[in-house]
Structure 1
Amino acid sequence: MKKTFIILSALLLLSFNMNNLAVKAAPLNIQLTEGVHSVKDLKLVENKTYKIQNTSAGTILMMRIDGDQQIMESHRLLENSPIYNIGPFRYVDKIVILGPGTVTITE
């Protein structure tokens, strides 16, 4: 009887703690301006495809460069461009943004 009470109390205590666990996933919305950006510093997930869009009035050139400094992908993003898929990335990749304005990376 005593063991049963202890086990039920432990299960009851664990069930109260499980209700407090909340996973809060914030949507990814990264704004990038002109420059060289590391995939690792941007905290993008490896082997995942993302979406990129020019949200400014100017034309922007986006390039993805791998660890061997080879251009793997490039997009010419006109003003208020449609959404393009980019990636999948590796942590050694870099994203180069050339031109005035900002681009937005989302999931």
Structure 2
Amino acid sequence: MKKSIILFLIFLCLSFGIIELKSAFAVTNIFTQGIYKVSDFGKSENHIYTIQNIRPQDNIYVTILDENLNVIEGVRLLPKSPKIDTIPVNDNFKVIIIGKGEVNISPKQ
């Protein structure tokens, strides 16, 4: 009796999607407000990344700092902005994202 109840509860959870399964290798390129290293965005052969605000209503600001914390590039992304290429950056640079939006940052192919 206990086994059937436990199996029923597991099946119920799986059928309603309460338990969300993700692959261990799943990588997301969507980032919110915070401070990140460029190495967090994946490896780029040419050290250039594309950035895009994917939210339909919120602006977002993206600032790139070098290893000495000098501002290298600053970009204001409007809602649903087109993809913009960054300048070439090193893995030890930092990226500051400010705002309520969500930024898709991926290595340029």
CA contact (8 A) 1:30 1:105 kept: yes
Give the letter aligned to residue 37 of structure 1.
Y
Residue 30 of structure 2 corresponds to 31
Range that drifts further, 38-47 or 89-98: 38-47
SS in 2 for 1:40: helix
Distance 1:32 1:96 in 2: 10
Q: 1:105: Cα distance to partner?
A: 1.4
CA distance, structure 1, for counterparts of residue 87 and residue 100 of structure 2: 23
Structure with bigger gyration radius = 1
Contact residue 60 and residue 97 of structure 1 kept, 8 A: yes
Q: Is contact 1:38-1:95 (8 Å) kept?
A: yes
* Counterpart Cα distance in 1 of 2:80 and 2:69: 29
**Quick check: 1:47–1:87 contact (8 Å CA) kept in 2?**
no
- Tell me how far apart the structure 1 counterparts of residues 36 and 43 of structure 2 sit (CA, whole Å): 11
Which runs of 5 or more structure 2 residues have no equivalent in the other structure?
1-26
- Per-residue deviation at 1:76? 0.3
Alignment of 1:78 with 2:78, yes or no, is yes
CA contact (8 A) 1:29 1:105 kept: no
Partner of 2:95: 95
Q: Does 1:54 align with 2:50?
A: no
Aligned equivalents of 2:45 and 2:97: distance in 1? 20
Which residue matches 1:65?
65
Question: Which 5+ residue runs of structure 1 have no aligned equivalent?
Answer: 1-27
Is the 2:41–2:105 Cα contact (8 Å) retained in structure 1?
Answer: no
Answer yes or no: is the 8 Å Cα contact 1:45–1:89 preserved in 2: no
Query: Root-mean-square deviation (CA), in Å?
Result: 1.8
* In 2: Cα distance, 1:60 partner to 1:50 partner: 17
